[in-house]
Chain A
Amino acid sequence: MARDEHTVLDAEAIARIVRRVAVEVVERTRGAEHLALVGVRRGGVPIAQRLAEEIGRAEGRQVPVGAVDITLYRDDAAVALPDPKVGPSDIDFDIGGRDLVLVDDVLHTGRTVRAAIDHLLDYGRPRRIWLAVLADRGGRELPVAADFVGRVLEVPEGAILDVFADGGEDDRAVVRTAPPEGGS
């Protein structure tokens, strides 16, 4: 079925957002001294890496970057999952006492963030966990809010927001909606 598709952020817009969020993170974490970034697989990982690069350039400091896969922490893990692909999580630094910024591409229901926080706490006790997202599309089902928001996007319920943010020229955020006639 054909879907309407339109680009809401292009590569340049995404690059500007990453630079701005990097500055905000440094400011809020007082110079990024105890900072570490953790991307949520898979969309959050490249964004976390880009933020780390920006912060590294600005502050002259290597910021550790990790990744979490939340499959095993989903609240629907024991019910229907069409394709239970589990990926490894990868945090090779001690998160105890750190200012952790959890990074994801899209904030929607908040369930992924809940799972990711549970997951992080199994690795240790960070001093604080912040949340950074490239796009906040609303539609929360849990009381979750982001500390750093790239862009608030109006996306109709039922539509799909896809973000590509690897740092290449094809980076973009697109909204796909089914046309009303064939969509139901």
Chain B
Amino acid sequence: MSAGFKHNHLLGIADLDANDVTEILDAAAAFIEVSRRPVRKVPTLRGKTVINMFFEASTRTRTSFELAGKRLSADVVNISGSGSSLSKGESLLDTCKTVAAMQPDIVVIRHSASGAPHFVAERVGCSVVNGGDGAHEHPTQALLDAFAIRQSLGTLEGLKVAICGDISHSRVARSNARLLNLFGSEVRFCAPGTLLPPEAATLGAKVYHRLDEALEGVDVIMLLRIQRERLEGPLLPSLREYSRIFGVSQRHLDGAAERAIVMHPGPMNRGVEIHPALADSDRSVVLDQVEAGVAVRMAVLYLLAKGVRAQTPAQAATDGG
């Protein structure tokens, strides 16, 4: 168990066990301190290169990864989908091979296609971190949520966690459900039938359609953003209807555990999935989640950078073919 973190990539929570998660969160606890100092930088990854490849719009995740790398003294480069050769017709594989030839140590990928980071990880020699792929996984979000939960409630074990919102399109919900399963916590999904995935049971989650029932006795309420683009299809009649039936306000905390916390991965739609007063209340840990995000990503970059030393750049280049 003291053997340490053995993974070359962080592609999904599905690849981790409880010890891996605990190791990342323990390391993140030390990195929280770095971000609170007058000089928010340590020399640990000096000379390492991290490339953020975000083929899908993202501000907070990309900024969080960028700060994480910079606070560890790594050189961080951002490539976004719109400004890159991807918009000029280059394939994902060619883009990644080109980037890999520049010898980065770690590549962070966000892509709208589920499995894109896995595809790339098999074909380049460096470490790959999944920064969110389609409706599949968003491992660092689940890890930072776990960090915030542990910070507030002291444990990840034996909790009751309700995840409410557009579950079927949510990689955040999937990664969180997998992570909480590792620690034996109970996961509940609460959403209208059209926004629930068919595989809820295989994710170890109980399905609810009524908010009051779903929140009964829960320790954690995780809200997901209702994406406005979903309204263009047949899945939701209107935002107002969703808000009336599934929007969470302070009144809903009555049935929850006394210590219950409210989480949101952002960006929040105030007045849709979360009532503004609740978002600003002391039960909300939304800003703790953001702070945890930088620390958890520092921990991930740190642990992966230690792992990649075994592989020489020459090997990596030939593997890349």
Contact = CB atoms under 8 A, between A and B. Distances in A.
Contacts of B39: 122-123
A41 to B, nearest CB: 11
Interface of B: 2-5, 26-27, 29-34, 37-39, 41-48, 72, 302-303, 305-306, 309
The 5 closest A-B CB pairs, nearest first, are: A86-B30, A122-B39, A72-B42, A72-B44, A88-B33
B43 A84 contact: no
Interface string A56-77: 0000000000000101110001
8 contacts: A69-B30, A72-B34, A78-B45, A79-B309, A82-B4, A83-B4, A89-B33, A123-B38
Residue among B47, B48, B306 facing the most chain A CB atoms (10 A cut-off): B306
A86 B44 CA distance: 11
B44 A73 contact: yes
B302 A84 contact: yes
A81 interface: yes
Contacts, number: 61
B309 A124 contact: no
A88 B25 CA distance: 12
Contact of B4 (A84, A87, A119): A84
B305 A122 contact: no
A87 to B, nearest CB: 6
Contact of B30 (A79, A87, A123): A87
A78 B44 contact: yes
Given A77-B44, A80-B309, 6 more contacts: A78-B47, A78-B309, A81-B306, A89-B30, A122-B38, A123-B38
B83 to A, nearest CB: 31
Given A78-B309, A82-B4, A83-B2, A122 B42 contact: yes
Given A78-B47, A81-B306, A83-B4, A73 B27 contact: no
A81 to B, nearest CB: 6
Contacts of A84: 4-5, 27, 302-303, 306
Interface residues of A, number: 23
Nearest to B2: A83
A87 B34 CA distance: 11
B47 A122 contact: no
Nearest to A74: B44
Residue among B3, B32, B42, B305 facing the most chain A CB atoms (10 A cut-off): B42
Contacts of B26: 85-86
Contacts of A90: 33
B319 to A, nearest CB: 21
Residue among B27, B37, B43 facing the most chain A CB atoms (10 A cut-off): B43
Given A78-B48, A79-B309, A84-B306, A73 B29 contact: no
A40 B219 CA distance: 38
Given A89-B33, A123-B37, A118 B309 contact: no
Contacts of A69: 30
A81 B3 CA distance: 11
Contacts of B43: 72-73, 77, 118
Nearest to B308: A78
Contact of B46 (A78, A79, A83, A86): A78
A37 to B, nearest CB: 19
B302 to A, nearest CB: 7
B185 to A, nearest CB: 26
Contacts of A78: 44-48, 305-306, 309
Given A78-B309, A84-B27, A84-B302, A124 B2 contact: no
A13 B30 CA distance: 35
B302 A73 contact: no
